Structure 1
Amino acid sequence: MSSNLTSSAQGAERLDLPPFAALRAFEAFGRCGGIRKAAAQLRIDHTVVSRHLRTLEAWLGVSLYDRDHTGGLTFEGRRYHARISAAFREIAGATREVMSGQSPGELRICATPGFAVNWLASRLPAFRARFPNIDLQLRPTDDDVDLERREADVAIAWSDEPGGPARSQAVEAQEFARRPGFAVASPAYLSTIDPILTPADLLNCNLVHEEDPAQWRQFLADNGVVSSQELPGTVVWQSNAVLEAARGGDGVALTNRFLVRDDIEAGRLVPVGPPQARGFPVGGGAYWLLALESRWTQTPIQEFRDWILAEAAAVPE
């Protein structure tokens, strides 16, 4: 009886798992775009790649690539390749993780510098107190983070696109914080200029620009102010520097509650305009949390995701 069960189990496994060499050749073929290119990457003869592809097609009972016309993947081939590629990336990532000695309880986070420095970093002690077994690494960066190459476990990005930041199909994304953008300045700067009573009065201020005037032009337009004149102000190249310039009294900056809540509570920055204006708020972008779809529910990613969603929800409008 035991022997029969073992044979059945082995047969079921055989039906679910094609030969690994054939899968490897197919993954390389679809990624590289040709048999010879795949062979060069795998360092085997192109005839071996062809044989592996035929073996896999026979095993599956479907055609995976078009031999007569384009030489590319068929519809079924593209659909199958997407799943196989994701599995190979996961295997490669797990292998790098083991070889690098990364702990299962380690969580590496990459986040936009403004969000990392002005909001997230000060709240990490609360996260560590709740999850003492998770070792956190936080890297502020404006660079695109390649989650598939395991440059980080989680990325936090800002985007004003409805679907969030651009990403591959292997990456899952969730919007967790959307708050209006508004204008702020230091009390010291506001004491040196005429009162700001309407959005149009901002044209008479020194505006602190992040990279270029595009954000300010959009903000003014959203508040009904369209101007063809060159916008005055200072240009800096990161949201952290924008806020630091505003704190130092250089002018008026654009921001959101996640970046300046502590500054407003401490009186370092105030929303511009009359009290009811509260910085002339307009709809802006949102912060998104990204991780590999294959790891989306894994611990500690799941615990960090649940935690940051709750923390973000507590930030006032």
Structure 2
Amino acid sequence: MKSVGNQGQQENDTSKIDLRQLPPLKSLKGFEATARLGSVRGAAEELSLTHPAISHQIQTLEDSLGVKLFLREGRHIRLTNEGKEYYQFVRQALGILISATEQIRSSISQPSLRVQTYITTSIRWLAPRLPKFKKHYPDIELEVSTYNANWDFDEKHADIAIIYRVDDLPDHLSWQPIFESSVFPVCSPEFLAELPSSPKPYELSQYPLISVYTENKYWNWEDWFDSIDDNPNTHNKDLKILEVDTLAAALEMAIVGEGIALVNGTFADKDIASGRLVIPVSHQDKGAGEWGIVYHKNLAKDQRVTTFIQWLLEQN
């Protein structure tokens, strides 16, 4: 077999390439995988083909070349001298083809998918999951921006938003639920030790409270007390409430013992599981509607959007 030199064609070279001399590409793929793995079975598994299919590809390639590429010794195979030499050429050629393909694909720049969400949602829910998304969908670039609790979908600077359900969604926007929301109080174990044993919900009103400044009534201590007490007059009306602008801040303040925070359970689960936070009352849960995805209806068939939405739905 003759050696192949580095005689690259010029960009403007229009000389004809006789493609009839080229073996089928699938046979080259089957040969490369078999030679590299030293196993027809291994090549079949890697290429998602059957054992007979790989064997047929190798036989086709050997017939095309007029030489044996493998020696079969029982259940084992090994490359012939011709096979070893040909393998080096095939591997180099396929590597060049793969590199050229990746270069062309990367040169076709797709705009980033612009995702908007609350600060806490980004920090405590979305960000920890994004490495998995990048691993499975490396071609989709994400650009994440954040804002405070009140919803304000900036359509000029975002394609999609992860938000708490809002009333009266504009007709040109679509809504896809992700998970149900619940709100309940949490505090540090040290703060819990200052409370009565097995406290009643209304007894929490006598202690420092922390809440997120929001128009959402479900995160409002007054409404929460009214919703869980049989007699709304039982709790202290002179509430000592410290308002913060993000749920992340409320959680951190509860962790360091500044008071009892009214929080969304989805974003507190890891701190509860680790023991950094505890739930002080047994009757604590109030359903607070849905969290989901909002996006412009014009993007309903955008593959980036549909892929990202489907991935988000798989996270719960």
Q: Please state whether the residue corresponding to 1:272 is helix, strand or coil.
A: coil
Judge which range, 137-146 or 241-250, deviates more. Answer: 137-146
For 1:272, the equivalent position in structure 2 comes to 280
State whether structure 2 residue 237 is matched by structure 1 residue 229: yes
For 2:98, the equivalent position in structure 1 comes to none
Answer whether contact 2:206 2:239 (CA < 8 A) is retained.
Answer: no
Give the 5 Å matches for 1:163-202.
164-202=166-204
Q: Please state whether the residue corresponding to 2:181 is helix, strand or coil.
A: coil
Q: Distance in 2 between matches of 1:237 and 1:311?
A: 26
Answer whether contact 2:124 2:267 (CA < 8 A) is retained.
Answer: yes
Matched residue type, 1:263: D
Q: Distance in 1 between matches of 2:124 and 2:222?
A: 25
**TM-superposed deviation, 1:104:** 2.5
Q: Distance in 2 between matches of 1:301 and 1:233?
A: 40
For 2:86, the equivalent position in structure 1 comes to none
**TM-superposed deviation, 1:179:** 2.6
Structure 1 residues not aligned, in runs of 5+: 1-100, 313-317
State whether structure 2 residue 281 is matched by structure 1 residue 281: no
Q: Distance in 1 between matches of 2:196 and 2:209?
A: 15
Q: 1:126 to 1:297 in 2, by over 3 A?
A: same
Q: Percent of pairs identical after alignment?
A: 25
Answer whether contact 2:133 2:311 (CA < 8 A) is retained.
Answer: yes
Q: 1:296 to 1:108 in 2, by over 3 A?
A: same
**Higher fraction of strand:** 2
Identify which of 282, 306, 309 aligns with 1:305. 309
Q: Distance in 1 between matches of 2:314 and 2:227?
A: 30
For 1:104, the equivalent position in structure 2 comes to 110
Q: Distance in 2 between matches of 1:102 and 1:251?
A: 53
Q: Distance in 2 between matches of 1:105 and 1:165?
A: 31
Matched residue type, 1:262: K
Tell me the alpha carbon deviations over residues 107-150 of structure 1, each in whole angstroms, 9 at most, x when there is no partner: 21110112111111111111111111111222121361222x2x
Q: Distance in 2 between matches of 1:221 and 1:157?
A: 26
Answer whether contact 1:175 1:286 (CA < 8 A) is retained.
Answer: yes
For 1:123, the equivalent position in structure 2 comes to 129
**TM-superposed deviation, 1:102:** 10
Matched residue type, 1:156: I
Give the 5 Å matches for 1:76-115.
103-104=109-110, 106-115=112-121
Identify which of 293, 305, 309 aligns with 2:297. 293
Matched residue type, 2:143: Q
State whether structure 2 residue 249 is matched by structure 1 residue 241: yes
Structure 2 residues not aligned, in runs of 5+: 1-106
What is the count of residue pairs matched by the alignment?
Answer: 202
State whether structure 2 residue 265 is matched by structure 1 residue 257: yes
Moved over 6 A (4+): none
Answer whether contact 1:171 1:293 (CA < 8 A) is retained.
Answer: yes
Answer whether contact 1:158 1:165 (CA < 8 A) is retained.
Answer: no
TM-score, length of structure 1 as denominator length: 0.59
Q: Distance in 1 between matches of 2:109 and 2:177?
A: 27
Identify which of 206, 209, 212 aligns with 1:207. 209
Q: Distance in 2 between matches of 1:282 and 1:134?
A: 37
Matched residue type, 1:198: K
Tell me the alpha carbon deviations over residues 171-216 of structure 1, each in whole angstroms, 9 at most, x when there is no partner: 1112221132111111121123333422111112211022279611
TM-score, length of structure 2 as denominator length: 0.59
State whether structure 2 residue 218 is matched by structure 1 residue 218: no
Answer whether contact 1:115 1:258 (CA < 8 A) is retained.
Answer: no
Tell which structure's C-alpha radius of gyration is larger: 2
Matched residue type, 2:142: L
